[in-house]
Amino acid sequence: MNEKGTSLWATAWQQLRRRRMICSCLWVLGAFLVLALYGEILHQWYRFKDQTPPYQRVDLQKRYIPPSVFRHPLAPSPDGALPGLATVACRLANHPLGTDNLGRDVLQRTIQGARIAFLVGVVTSLIAIPIGVVLGCVAGYFGRWVDDLVVWLYTTVACMPGLLFVLAIAMVVGKGLMGIYLGIGLTTWVGLCRLVRAEVMKHRERAYVMAARSLGFSSGRIVFRHILPNVFHIIIITFSLRFPAAIGTEVFMSFLGIGVQGEPSWGVMVSNARLRLWQGVWWEMTAVTVVIVVVVLAFNLVGDALRDALDPRLKSQE
């Protein structure tokens, strides 16, 4: 017997680390986080200096430049000599993913898009998850009329067609990020609330809760210190699965034109690129789509693996 025990969280983490696929997904998500942070710093820096950031600067001379790999980076220099390594690197680094119809750098805009996507994922989760968890816990633990009230509330919310509800809220709040945050945040807590409620109801009858009640703990302490850690895996799994969904909704709303305004989000970029696609300008669309697919896929894979690692019901079947 070693001194230090292994918590269920530690076991789950070890289980995740053993899977190579999940490790690479985690690296992808790490890169996504770093890029989003970099985008945020850049954004704040140019706002502070009150300048138009480079990814917004219109330069009609540089319209429709294809990605650097397709611009013959190995072509001879004007004097006919073979290009040096430095020259090739220089050529590759110049608009590596090309430019769009207004001469803006696609790579930089994609990074800014990552920033918006990250913000949307996190802020909507910060709105939706607390609502779902608190209502679910309270309804599940106290039952009776509290439960009736919460069930009535989420049934009502769930009755409304999701996207229309999001759009309605966004219309009321106004176009822009705030509309997206509130629209997605206030409509997507229902699923989590249901899951948490059901799980709390199950745990309420467990002997460890009875023991906590015998020890005279308050209801708040029992719900949030004793039961919540036991349903926390649901919250983590939900978070990892709703994050890409929120990104998708943002893309869709921005595509419709009621989302992000005046900032390059992935949805704005898709909407833009769509118009030039028939002119043979494929690189903007490709860049955005590939990034969205990679990020969403990584999130989903990690979410599934988390479910496997954290859900005690699946654990026994190994």
What are the residues binding other proteins (CB under 8 A)? 1, 3-8, 206-208, 210-217, 221, 226, 229-230, 232, 312
Query: Is residue 128 a contact partner of residue 196, using CB atoms and an 8 Å limit?
Result: no
Task: Specify the DSSP class assigned to residue 142.
Answer: H
To the nearest whole angstrom, how small is the minimum distance from the Cβ of residue 305 to other proteins?
Answer: 20
Closest to other proteins by CB, 13 vs 232, is: 232
Residue closer to other proteins, measured from CB, 190 or 212: 212
Question: Taking the complex as a whole, how short is the minimal distance between the CB of residue 219 and other proteins, in angstroms?
Answer: 10
CB under 8 Å to 29, separation ≥6 — which residues? 295, 298, 299, 302
For the bound state, the minimum distance from the C-beta of residue 212 to other proteins, rounded and expressed in Å, comes to 8
Minimum distance from CB of 193 to other proteins (Å)? Answer: 21
- Nearest approach in angstroms of CB 215 to other proteins is 4
Cα dihedral sign, 276-249-34-32: negative
Nearer to other proteins by Cβ, of 80 and 216: the residue is 216
Least spacing, CB of residue 8 vs other proteins, in Å = 6
Between 70 and 208, name the residue whose CB sits nearer to other proteins.
Answer: 208
Tokens of 244: 């890409």
Query: In this structure, what token pair is assigned to residue 78?
Result: 């004007």
How far is the C-alpha of 288 from the C-alpha of 255, rounded, in Å?
Answer: 13
Q: For other proteins, which is the closer residue by CB, 16 or 209?
A: 209
Q: Closest approach of Cβ 150 to other proteins, in Å?
A: 18
Is residue 285 within 8 Å of residue 274, measured between CB atoms? yes
Cβ-based neighbour number of residue 212 at 10 Å? 19
User: Whose Cβ is closer to other proteins: residue 214's or residue 317's?
Assistant: 214
Cα-based torsion angle of the residue sequence 281, 287, 293, 296 in order, rounded to the nearest 10 degrees: -130
Task: Select 166 or 237, whichever has its Cβ closest to other proteins.
Answer: 237
How far is the C-alpha of 126 from the C-alpha of 123, rounded, in Å?
5
Query: Between the CA of residue 204 and those of 131, 145, 216, what are the distances in Å?
Result: 20, 17, 15
